[in-house]
Amino acid sequence: MTSIRKISTGILTAILALTLVGCGGSSASGTSSSGTASSGTASSGEPIKIGIPDDATNGGRAIKLLEAAGLIEVDPSVGWVPELKDITNYIYNIEIVPTTANTLPSTLEDFGASTINGTYAIPVGLIPSRDGLIVENQASAVAEGETNPFINIIVARTEEKDNATYKKIVEAYNTDYVAQYTIAKYSEASIPAWDWKPTELSDEDLLKEVDSYKTTKDGKEVIKVGVCGANNDTWNAVQKILDERGDNIYIEIVQFDAYTLPNEALNSGEININSFQHYAYLNKEIEAQGYELTPIGDTSMAPLTLYSKKFDSLDALKEAAGKK
């Protein structure tokens, strides 16, 4: 049996001493907001700018990653999602710049380094183990008995949380077949959030099988699934499982270009379910917007990674920044 913790340890712990399968943010690209934190000016020169996602949850994850990198210190009492104001010490001369999440890959050369989610890193050729200076390790950060708030989820309206059709979709998603496809297709960008074991198929054969699979909605119940980002081919594997089981369900993918939209669309009834966010982001949305939404199943974890076009190691970045 291959577990989520074993996979995370094998792939991520060796790199580091890792939901929102997210979309874009709302602030201007590459600019510092009024909340931007600066370490000040060191005698060696201007502070090195580090881009992070500008939403609260993924920005908080990025701050924790920079803490793990030894660049800053954070108030331990604030938990999983600290804000810039919770940084208690800048160990190195850096400036943290909240930036629209989906622009971080294209603006990477404008920063000394940036924290980028796998959803956006993989499509532009960035691989955590090869290109990352440090990779988020979510699995080891969870205490025994806790739920990892950064596991990505399938969400439904609360009044439909026990919908029988949705349960079949979650069951099809949480299969060995879909898990193996996810690992083979996205590797370090997405890690299944359930225990699984390899199928009898090779990764190459399974990829060919899913990527070439075609289906039709004829005679099936159409379920609209709201998603974000570019990496949603896993749903084709889910569709194949549903068809093989004779569930007569057709998955219609509805693509959104901003992560503020899928929950709004779900809450208003424009779509049936969505799959783009982790627990932490959903909880923030419910608190802020009053949505009546409920998670109905886990999907994957997507690690944040610190990338740089200017430094080939974390030590090189630290040397260039200089200690405070």
Token pair, residue 301, equals: 């974890």
Asked whether the beta carbons of 5 and 193 are under 8 A apart, the reply is: no
**Residue 71: Cβ-neighbour burial (10 angstroms; 0-12, 13-18, 19+):** buried
Cα dihedral 52/54/35/79 (nearest 10): -80
136 and 162 within one domain: no
Shared domain for 200 and 108, answered yes or no, is no
Q: Are residues 165 and 289 located together in one domain of the fold?
A: yes
Q: What is the mean pLDDT of the chain?
A: 86
Per-residue tokens: 144: 């025994």
Tens of pLDDT, residue by residue over 171-209, are 999 999 999 999 999 877 788 999 999 999 999 999 999
Q: Which residue has the higher pLDDT, 222 or 127?
A: 222
Residues 241, 132 within the same domain? no
**Do 173 and 275 share a domain, yes or no?**
yes
Q: pLDDT, tens digit, for every residue of 226-273?
A: 998 777 999 999 999 999 999 999 999 999 988 889 999 999 999 999
Q: Residue 293: which CATH number?
A: 3.40.190.10
Number of domains in the chain: 2
* 285 and 175 inside one domain: yes
Residues 164 and 294 in one domain: yes
Residues 177 and 47 in one domain: no
pLDDT band at 127 (very low <50, low <70, confident <90, very high): confident
How many Å apart are CA 155 and CA 263, to the nearest integer?
9
DSSP helix/strand/coil, 280: helix
Burial class from Cβ neighbours inside 10 Å (0-12, 13-18, 19+) for residue 1 reads: exposed
Query: How do residues 140-152 score in pLDDT, each as one tens digit?
Result: 555 455 678 889 9
Task: Please state the rounded mean pLDDT for residues 14-37.
Answer: 38
- What's at 210, amino acid-wise? V
Do 87 and 98 belong to one domain? yes
Do 260 and 159 share a structural domain? yes
pLDDT digits (tens, 9 = 90+) for 207-218: 999 999 999 999
Report which of 221, 220, 291, 231 is spatially closest to residue 255, judged by C-alpha positions. Answer: 231
Per-residue pLDDT of 48-85, as tens digits, reads 999 999 988 889 999 999 999 999 999 999 887 899 99
Helices within the chain (DSSP H only): 4-8, 56-68, 118-121, 128-131, 164-173, 176-186, 203-211, 234-244, 261-268, 279-289, 314-321
Question: Same domain for 50 and 169?
Answer: no
Cα-based angle 286, 288, 293 (whole degrees, multiple of 5): 15
Examine the domain organization and report whether 93 and 10 are in the same domain. yes
pLDDT more than 70, % of the chain:
84
Residue 73, classed as helix, strand or coil, is: strand
Q: Tell the residue number behind the tokens 């979510």, with chain if given.
A: 138
pLDDT digits (tens, 9 = 90+) for 277-298: 999 899 999 999 999 999 999 9
The residue segments making up the domain with residue 273 are: 151-301
Describe the chain by its helix, strand, coil percentages, rounded to 5.
Answer: 40, 25, 35
